[in-house]
Amino acid sequence: MKRNSFVYIFKTTQLLIMGTIAMTVFLRTEMKSGQFQDSTKYWGALFFSLINVMFNGKAELAMTVFRLPVFFKQRDFLFYPAWAFSMPIWVLRIPVSLMESGIWTVLTYYTIGFAPAASRFFKQFLAFFGVHQMALSLFRFIAAVGRTPVVANTLGTFTWQIVFVLGGFVVARGDIKSWMMWGYYASPMMYGQNAIAINEFLDERWNNPVPNSTDSVGVTLLKERGLFSEEHWYWICIGVLFAFSLLFNVLFIAVMTFFNMPGDTKSLLLEDNPDDNGRRRLASNNDGIDMAVRNAQGGSSSAIGAANEGSRRGMVLPFQPLSFAFNHVNYYVDMPAEKKNQGVEENRLQLLCDVSGAFRPGILTALVGVSGDGKTTLMDVLAGRKTGGYIEGSISISGYPKNQATFARVSGYCEQNDIHSPYLTVYESLLYSAWLRLASDINDSTRKMFVEEVMDLVELNPLRHALVGLPGVDGLSTEQRKRLTIAVELVANPSIIFMDEPTSGLDARAAAIVMRAVRNTVDTGRTVVCTIHQPSIDIFEAFDELLLMKRGGRVIYAGGRQSHKVVEYFESVPGVTKIKEGYNPATWMLEVSSPAVEAHLDIDFAKVYANSALYGRNQDLIKELSTPAPGSKDLYFPTQYSESFITQCKACFWKQHYSYWRNSEYNAIRFFMTIFIGVIFGVIFWSKGDQIYKQQDLFNLLGAIYSAVFFLGASNATTMQLLWQLRGQYSTEKEQQECTQSCVAIETIYVVIQSLVYALFLYSMIGFPWKVDKFLYFYYFICMSFIYFSMYGMVVVALTPGHQIVAIVSSFFFSFWNLFSGFLIPRPLIPIWWRWYYWASPVAWTIYGLFASQVGDITSELQIIGSSPRPVNEFIKDSLGFEHDFLIPIVFAHVGWVLLFFFVFAYGIKFLNFQRR
């Protein structure tokens, strides 16, 4: 908790903001009491407080899912049993519940104007504490059952829906069908609703008599809602809330004991393609693979035998070999606040100091050094990937000053973290990269032929139909992902490729396979640069040149990689110990150049290198490569991107189509939830659409529409957590705008189908009249609301840095939309200073459109509590603010909401990158 304090601070701040908003919406000076007509605001205030306290516990779901992989691993290694992990979480959340419940009660109780007795203040606090504890344990249990973000979020939303609808406020107990009454008593929220309602409406100020009845106003209000009306039921409800909390925690421990983390499967798409038979016969097999990595001179080390002997590989697509030279490069960042607090006066921290070097075509160069010496920093600076800091020095490409816009078109960068679309096959991943990054004048057959050549080059043919999958969950192994990362860059036909620790996290066999792919890439004549951390002798000998760095970002050796040359150079330095026979030269090199050795010998290896003849020869080479060759031309491309806008959209839509179609978990959950929730809501609100006789009937129907829109829409938004897995691609691809449009387009297609299924279930089961215009209005508003909810899910993911913040921000805005939806407090009763936000809540527009289109033209009489009957259309206009004549503007407003969320999402994907370098 201490190291995750930002989440709890954020949640507390969110609670403070929502509490402040609630007390200004339900302000004491606007809250009269004692009569039937005064109760509407109190019901809204109580219910909003209840759902806000309970919904604030939903962030526990995301945090628990995040911790589960580590827990399952430690449990299986017998670190501790499940109860030892679960009990501290339960105990540590008690102070959190006390604080958050206390903040809400202190902020809102007297400012809203609830029952003034001090005892009732503490009783409401106790009720909210019980609700919060129950919610935390419930969502922890759901997270343990779901175990993955998509499944857990969907289960959480589904459970929340059932608990919410059957909680006693959305639909009164007397209006629930007898076969669903078990759900009413099984809903934990019902007991919280009863506790806070009993605490308020059994106060003395609600004891005014009711004509022709022995009950008071408060008791009548409770009975009208089907709630308990005796004081002792408050304590029963509190006891049940804590019993639920205990039950969910016990179930959480049981699930953590017996369940395992899903995954560990390898997905393979088998297709009968006769054209692949010959290719498979020529391809190498993963079992018993020859551990060969050929060096540039055609020789081999003892452990890495000669393979693929012969001349440099030719390929179907030509490329321009390019050299890369950089001289006196310095890199600074702003001084961290921690160092300034320690008394450091400089404004900048230098990470690279006077670094010079050169990379040539057909030469494999290794950037070597201990952790923190600036290898990756140097590579990021040279590749133009740094998002901040200050760069000095000269960088040239084949003699011409480097221009990042053109350099990005001829270079590739293989990240240490392999980012790929999990639901594409290996072949489709390469085809997609080639489609968007090769020149537009290359036809389809040539492009596919080039992809096949690249697959042969990095030996991916046996895996061509394998799904990439998610790292550590399913799909390709780490070594296979490394080779795919290299291939994805190779199919862009680059001249220069940077690779950040391509052997990191691999065993010796896997590292040799990856290095063979790297060696094969170099043998095509490309310029390849790799960072490497303490390589084995076999991998060390696979490189042609070496650039060795020390802490502080300074170069201490740059030259040929042959071990005898490196050993001779360092042994020539006075005081350096000789290498032992059979010792790894790479390890020895790092040991003798360590800061401890420098301090012992009172020597600076960077100065030794700067004063050496080797440095002079390297400077001559840099000067030579920094001068353009006679007759050469600088790089030039007429367009920013390789392909046209239409082609980019087509390629991205193709990728999104497969990503959605093959994500069976996402699609199955989406349509299962749609059908199941449609049926459940249809059963709960069975035939209420044509049974509007009294005021409570109208409120039940409003509750049905509110629930139908808000909860499945929220489910769509939360299951868009899928986008979280894919956002890294948008931050690295050059086609963010087109990928954004394709993602929105494919999601919209699925939502249109989902909405049609949902609307047919709900419309028929609720019992609305079968008229063409009414059904089309119903379907349109449902469809558009689901689209903007999905867009909102995308927006939150695009604008936030982490999945935990996504969950918290989502719940914050859901609470906001919920409050001003027109259900908890009708628009005419919203204070004038907040009424503007009613129009700024998209859910309010949808509920307005659905309710006005279905009942806004009904003129039959409606029985009203404490008043004479009135026509339905007049009552909803005066009491709820809904007019049938306002439907056309509402139709266009929904288009506006969809476009707004689309443009915000596109902006976030295109301009916000939380991957700081």
pLDDT tens digits, one per residue of 153-202: 778 877 887 888 888 788 778 778 777 788 889 999 999 999 999 999 99
Exposed, middle or buried by CB within 10 Å (0-12, 13-18, 19+), for 297?
Answer: exposed
Q: In a 3-state reduction of DSSP, which class is residue 738?
A: helix
Contact 586, 558 (CB under 8 A): no
Per-residue pLDDT tens over the stretch 312-332: 455 678 888 999 999 999 999
Q: Using the predicted structure, report yes or no on whether residue 803 has a pLDDT greater than 70.
A: no
Q: In whole angstroms, what is the distance from residue 179 CA to residue 515 CA?
A: 66
Q: Tell me which residue of 783, 745, 730 sits closest to 902, measured CA to CA.
A: 745
Q: Which residues of 381-533 form beta strands (DSSP E)?
A: 390-397, 400-401, 411-414, 496-500, 527-532
Mean pLDDT score across all residues of the chain: 84
Print burial letters for 819-840: b (CB count within 10 Å at least 16), e (below 16): bbbbbbbbbebbeeebeebbee
Over residues 287-294, the mean pLDDT reads 37
At 734 the pLDDT is 42
- Residues 540-556 have pLDDT tens digits of 888 899 999 998 899 99
Please write down the HEC assignment for all residues of 780-810.
HHHHHHHHHHHHHHHHHHHHCCCHHHHHHHH
Segment 414-425 shows an average pLDDT of 86
Query: Is the pLDDT confidence value at 873 over 80?
Result: yes
73 burial via Cβ count (<10 Å: 0-12, 13-18, 19+) = exposed
* SS3 annotation, 439-463: CCCCCHHHHHHHHHHHHHHCCCHHH
Lowest average pLDDT, out of 231-240, 629-638, 861-870, goes to 861-870
CB 481 within 8 A of CB 471: yes
Helix (H) / strand (E) containing 352: strand 348-359
Q: Tell which residue, 437, 441, 440, has the closest CA to residue 451.
A: 437
Confidence of residue 844 (pLDDT cuts 50, 70, 90): very high
DSSP state at residue 259: -
Lowest mean pLDDT among 158-167, 245-254, 474-483, 569-578: 158-167
pLDDT at 164 (0 to 100): 82
Q: Report residue 432's pLDDT band, with 50, 70 and 90 as the boundaries.
A: very high
CA atoms within 13 A on the CB side of 114: 30
The answer for residues whose C-beta is within 8 angstroms of residue 777's C-beta and 6 or more apart is 849, 850, 853, 854, 887
CA atoms within 13 A on the CB side of 790: 22
- pLDDT tens profile 371-398: 888 899 999 999 998 878 899 999 999 9
Q: Amino acid identity, residue 161?
A: Q
Residue 243, pLDDT above cutoff 90? yes
pLDDT at 116: 87
Q: Do 737 and 906 contact (CB within 8 A), yes or no?
A: yes
State the CB neighbour count (10 A cutoff) for residue 125. 17
pLDDT of amino acid 799: 83
Per-residue pLDDT, 301: 40
Q: Which is nearest to 312 in space by CA: 293, 324, 296, 292?
A: 296
* pLDDT confidence bin for 288, thresholds 50/70/90: very low
Element of type H or E holding 851 = helix 842-855
Distance, in Å, from the CA atom of 480 to the CA atom of 505, rounded to the nearest integer, reads 12
Instruction: Please give the Cα distance from 324 to 302 (Å, whole number).
Output: 32
Give the tokens for residue 792. Answer: 């909102």
pLDDT band with cut points at 50, 70 and 90 for residue 399:
very high
- Using the predicted structure, report yes or no on whether residue 281 has a pLDDT greater than 60: no
Q: pLDDT digit string (tens) for 54-86?
A: 877 777 887 888 888 889 888 888 898 989 988
- Tell which wins on pLDDT, 409 or 807: 409
**pLDDT the model gives residue 250:** 94
Summarize the confidence of residues 341-369 as an average pLDDT.
Answer: 90
List pLDDT tens digits, range 557-578: 998 767 778 888 999 888 888 9
pLDDT band for position 272 (50/70/90)?
A: very low
Question: What's the confidence (pLDDT) of residue 57?
Answer: 77
pLDDT given at position 866: 66
Q: Place 280 in a pLDDT band, splitting at 50, 70 and 90.
A: very low
pLDDT of residue 29: 64
Phi and psi at residue 744, to the nearest 5°:
-65, -40
Give the per-residue pLDDT at 239: 95
How many Cα atoms within 13 Å fall on the side-chain side of residue 224? 21
CA–CA gap between residue 875 and residue 871 (Å, rounded): 6
pLDDT tens track for 741-800: 777 888 899 999 999 999 999 999 988 888 999 999 999 999 999 999 999 988 888 888
Instruction: Work out the average pLDDT over 711-733.
Output: 63
Top pLDDT among 289 and 593 is at 593
The pTM of the full predicted model, rounded to 2 decimals, is: 0.76
Q: Which of 751, 754, 760, 834 is nearest to 790 (CA)?
A: 751
Please give the share of the chain, as a percent, with pLDDT higher than 90: 33
pLDDT of residue 797: 83
pLDDT at 287: 38
pLDDT at 307 over 50: no
Checking if the pLDDT of 269 tops 70, the result is no
Residue 369 structure tokens: 């050094």
Residue 804 binned pLDDT confidence (cut-offs 50, 70, 90): low
Q: With beta carbons less than 8 A apart as the criterion, state whether 4 and 63 touch.
A: yes
Q: What pLDDT, on a 0 to 100 scale, did the predictor assign at position 554? A: 94
Sign of the torsion formed by the C-alpha atoms of 708, 709, 712 and 715: negative
pLDDT of res. 916: 58
**Three-state secondary structure call for residue 368:** strand
| Digit-coded pLDDT (tens) for 434-459 | 998 998 889 999 999 999 999 998 88
pLDDT for residue 732: 45
Residue with the bigger pLDDT between 800 and 88: it is 88
Q: Measured in whole angstroms, how far is the alpha carbon of residue 816 from the centre of its chain?
A: 22
Question: Residue 306: pLDDT above 50?
Answer: no
Question: pLDDT tens digits, residue range 502-517?
Answer: 888 788 888 888 888 8
